[in-house]
Amino acid sequence: MTLGLLYHMPFWQAADGSLWEAEGSFARYVDSLAPYFDEILLSVPVFDAPQASGSRVRAANVKLSPLPYFPGPRQFYPQLPAMRARLRAWVEQCDVIHLRVPSPAAIFAFRLARARNKPVFLLVVGDYRALVPYLPYRGLKKLIFGAYVAFEEWALRFMATRALTFANGAALRAKHEAQGARVHETKTTTLALSDIARRTDTCGSRPVRLLTVSRIDPRKGLRVLPAAIAALKAGGHDCALDLVGPTIGQIGDTERDAIRNEAARLGVSDRVTLTGPIALDRLMPLYGDYDLFVLPTQPGEGIPRVLLEAMAAGLPVITTNVSGIASLIADGSNGMLITESSADAVAAAVRTLIGAPALRQRLIQGGYQTARAHTLERQAAEMMRVVQAELQLSLAQPTVGGESLGGGKPLGLPIP
């Protein structure tokens, strides 16, 4: 059985035929689904040239059905005729279609699949409508983006009320259930059991090293970080922060420059470092070099997968109580929730954790427990059990150590 999987994360193919994704989180998701199917055919944008670094798809049964490269909707829609032709050919080759949404190509792929009676299931991972108030668009740009968001909201509702739907976290599940869809809640993850660390405490040396991993755009609340570091410095706390992640288009470049300028204005440029993107396979071991994880994000997404990555590395997590985050993090148990994305709130939480070793240690152990419960193996098995039952498909049944992870015909391959 061939699974067609669509998303907008760009890939490239190396000279040896291997498939690579620049960030790596989606590549791991693809690998987690591969044991359940004879073949996965990826409908994704493809870079014009190989990138300097990335994460490799390890499953041997994954192939590309490439789309022209597009970093966003502005580049997607002018190529729509070519996109539709590629999508039509891709749909014809697949037995079941999986759309990770929102994504510009999704509604066109969905309608093509429905016209050919191909079963479809969705995974909702973001909420464009919720992020609109946090984007600095004005005038005509604001109107155009508002119209695009309205179209995407209509498209997502159209699909979710007509297809098997999973949503990343309780907030996205509740949103789409309120619109008439029947939704299964999941939590997107990048973790394998082998990623979970064993350290019991942090903050034992100076400077205290803070880590933020995030795409750089306005919805992430990252502009407050230089002021938080400045406040900690003024209070006598020796802290430094690394911000890891790519910019997203021109708006991301503007946000990156604003963060750097704010750090310079506050005199903390030597304590706030923007490293740029680091591919996931390289990033995962680096989490262990840090003491605390901070993500002052705004509404507009489900549950950031980086929270689970930080937990797996033994990092106490500080993040905002927005979107579906509270369905993953219990304040004081496996992380600290702050009520607003502000420098004062971030600095106060950091000060608390620096001065409370018992609390740090409790959050680390709670984080490990949460991470073990949300591995790729478990997420894929739970999703595929639902897919098999509701779409009446006969999927392969992968095993680990002789133990079955999902219903279906035996396959006997290990989970990547």
Name the burial class of residue 399, with classes exposed (0-12), middle (13-18) and buried (19+) by CB atoms within 10 angstroms of its CB: middle
CA angle 74–181–303, rounded 5-degree value: 60
Encoded tokens for 390:
């509701």
* Cβ pair 47, 12 in contact under 8 A: yes
Cα–Cα distance for residue pair 40/42, rounded to 1 Å: 6
Fold matches, 2-189+375-410 and 193-373: yes
Question: Hey, how many other C-beta atoms are within 10 angstroms of the C-beta on 103?
Answer: 22
Residue spans of the domains in the chain: they are: 2-189+375-410, 193-373
Helix or strand holding residue 156 (H, E):
helix 139-160
What is the CATH superfamily name and number for domain 2-189+375-410?
Glycogen Phosphorylase B; (3.40.50.2000)
- Alpha-carbon distance of 94 to 80, in angstroms, equals 21
Calpha distance 12→339 (Å, rounded): 40
Q: Which pLDDT value is given to residue 175?
A: 95
**Pairing label, strands 19-21, 55-56:** antiparallel
User: Who has greater pLDDT, 340 or 300?
Assistant: 340
pLDDT band at 414 (very low <50, low <70, confident <90, very high): very low
Q: Average pLDDT, whole number, for the chain?
A: 93
pTM above 0.85, yes or no: yes
Q: What is the CATH number that goes with domain 193-373? A: 3.40.50.2000
Beta carbons of 376 and 188 less than 8 angstroms apart: no
Residue type for position 305: R
With residue 148 as reference, give the H or E element that holds it.
helix 139-160
- Strand ranges (E), 226-285: 239-244, 272-276
| 53-97 pLDDT tens trace | 899 999 999 999 999 999 889 899 999 999 999 999 999 999 999
Which DSSP state fits 415?
P
The pLDDT value recorded for residue 193 is 86
d(CA 127, CA 35): 30
pLDDT of residue 88: 98
Task: Answer positive or negative: Cα dihedral of 74, 78, 80, 86.
Answer: negative
Tens digit of pLDDT for each residue in 123-142? 999 998 887 887 778 888 88
**Least confidently predicted of 188-192, 386-390, 395-399:** 395-399
Examine the pLDDT at 416 and tell me if it is beyond 60.
Answer: no
Are 36 and 5 in contact, with CB atoms under 8 Å apart?
A: no
Q: pLDDT per residue over 372-392, tens digit each?
A: 999 999 999 999 999 999 999
Q: What is the tally of helices (H) and strands (E) in the chain?
A: 14, 20
- Residue in the block written with tokens 């609390």: 359
Model confidence at 202: pLDDT above 80: yes
User: Would you place residue 232 in the very low, low, confident or very high pLDDT band (cuts 50, 70, 90)?
Assistant: very high
Q: Tell whether the torsion through CA atoms of 130, 134, 135 and 138 is positive or negative.
A: positive
Closest C-alpha to 296, from 325, 262, 331? 325
Is 70 exceeded by the pLDDT of residue 410? no
